[in-house]
Chains A and B, each alone.
Chain A
């Protein structure tokens, strides 16, 4: 277990969090996560990498208030999180979560309408997001008519229009090809700079984590704990042109050296095969 100190004001604080899924139907309980400690500083961009099934999504859902931790506490903006998603948190899920019965535009507007934002403002923000995400031509399409990557962009767009102060993304670019990933990464960085939001990104792409983040947390095989926290030292105005930077390779290499053994462990317990 490694404790991570934030550089500036804490925004979200995870202390001693574990998650054990009770064994249903005679099966043994699953110790999925922790204990982990993590401090996300306000405005920071942190990525989490770890072998398959190590509890990354579980950590994200606990952070979002969607799952209770079995032990430990969680504080967001100086208030404890329990049983409800706090205001100001946005989540992009690993699975496709666009509403299939709504058009792209309606999907993006959905959360704003629920939050009671007035019509003109909804329209303004939705148009902006459509343009930003390259979805303008598909505003009247339904999610089933889009490619997997575009559907994921809808989910990112509808999260961002809510202007969350903490953005949690669970492998949002998993369905995208490498080129689109890089461009979407740039887009995400730009939005991050513009909004000053705190970002937690879960990814399985080490180079992506190394390129986008201020810090990268490396998790062990299940039950996931933090093995290492790598500071990248990039400037805030970074973008995908960093792929040429030799330091990027060095960071990715360090992440991989930490993860190699853990990934093998996960493989041998069959996690990766799931």
Chain B
């Protein structure tokens, strides 16, 4: 383990330990926060009893749908804009300013349009994630060096082979950045939308517990959400390290 990693783990352990002490000594009251150890035990209980399983499945399902559609649509739109530079010139400023808009203002509108069901939440997750994917796909294609394309021509490769064997692998590094952002954004979008208005899902359960002062449920659920996103990020990070980093490291 690297020194910096070890120090980081100690810092986190220290913070959690400190919190534990503060909660146990009632410096932080039980109505504000329960001790971290109880959060973990609560989480174990929730998972054992399985009363939140439907919510976990609903949230993960919504995130998955939002994410996959954002990746597919974002990639296709990015590729399309790349081959249609005139359209791109028109769209570019919109993409650049997109994240200045708080997408959540459209949530009521989406509920009106789609009904009070899972689709508005999926739509919010999708809308947050898709542009990161478009922008990074475009960036990836832009960064394919001319010299690699010329090399493909020297090897007398056709358009299809050049696309699949040169352009895509080369752009992958940047497209993957879009993918990581899309994962984070779709998570944020779906869970936040569940928070605002919904009948199920982890976001809904957290907000429900909060409204009923059920700290024994709320904190374990927060830990669960953090744990899930950390897990997914670790998988992506490991994959990136294994396959992509070696292309750029010096």
Contacts and interface: CB of A to CB of B under 8 A. Distances in A.
Interface of A: 61, 64, 66, 84-85, 87, 89-91, 93, 95-97, 99-101, 110-111, 114-115, 142-145
Given A66-B150, A84-B153, 6 more contacts: A61-B150, A93-B147, A99-B170, A114-B165, A144-B248, A145-B249
20 contacts: A64-B154, A66-B150, A66-B154, A84-B153, A85-B154, A85-B156, A90-B154, A91-B150, A91-B151, A96-B147, A97-B151, A101-B169, A101-B170, A101-B172, A114-B155, A114-B161, A115-B156, A142-B246, A144-B247, A145-B250
* Closest A-B pairs by Cβ, 9 of them: A97-B147, A100-B247, A95-B147, A101-B169, A142-B246, A111-B155, A97-B151, A91-B154, A114-B155
Contacts of A143: 247
B155 A110 contact: yes
Nearest to B161: A114
Nearest to B243: A101
A101 B247 contact: yes
B156 A97 contact: no
B225 to A, nearest CB: 34
A257 B155 CA distance: 39
Nearest to A159: B154
Given A66-B153, A66-B154, A111-B155, A99 B148 contact: yes
Nearest to B250: A144
A115 B145 contact: no
B150 A93 contact: yes
B157 interface: yes
Contacts of B209: none
A97 B145 contact: yes
Contacts of B170: 99-101
Contacts of B169: 99, 101
B188 interface: no
B166 interface: yes
B153 A93 contact: no
Interface in B136-174: 145-148, 150-151, 153-157, 161, 165-166, 169-170, 172-173
B148 A85 contact: no
A101 B147 CA distance: 15
Contacts of A95: 145-147
A143 B247 CA distance: 7
- B interface, how many residues as a size bin? 20 to 34
B148 A97 contact: yes
Contact of B157 (A66, A114, A144, A145): A114
Nearest to B152: A114
B154 A89 contact: yes
A230 B147 CA distance: 31
Contacts of B145: 95, 97
A90 B150 CA distance: 11
Interface in B204-250: 246-250
Contacts of A144: 246-250
Given A97-B148, A99-B166, A84 B156 contact: yes
Contacts of A64: 154
Contacts of B247: 100-101, 142-144
Interface in B88-144: none
Contacts of A142: 246-247, 249
B155 to A, nearest CB: 5
B50 to A, nearest CB: 44
A87 B247 CA distance: 30
B248 A100 contact: yes
A144 B245 CA distance: 10
Contacts of B157: 114
Contacts of A61: 150
A87 B156 contact: yes
Contact of A145 (B148, B156, B246): B246
Interface string B168-205: 01101100000000000000000000000000000000
Given A110-B155, A114-B155, A114-B157, A97 B248 contact: no
B139 to A, nearest CB: 16
Nearest to A158: B151
Contacts of B161: 114
A147 to B, nearest CB: 10
Question: Which of B145, B156, B173 has the most CB atoms of chain A within a 10 A radius of its CB?
Answer: B156
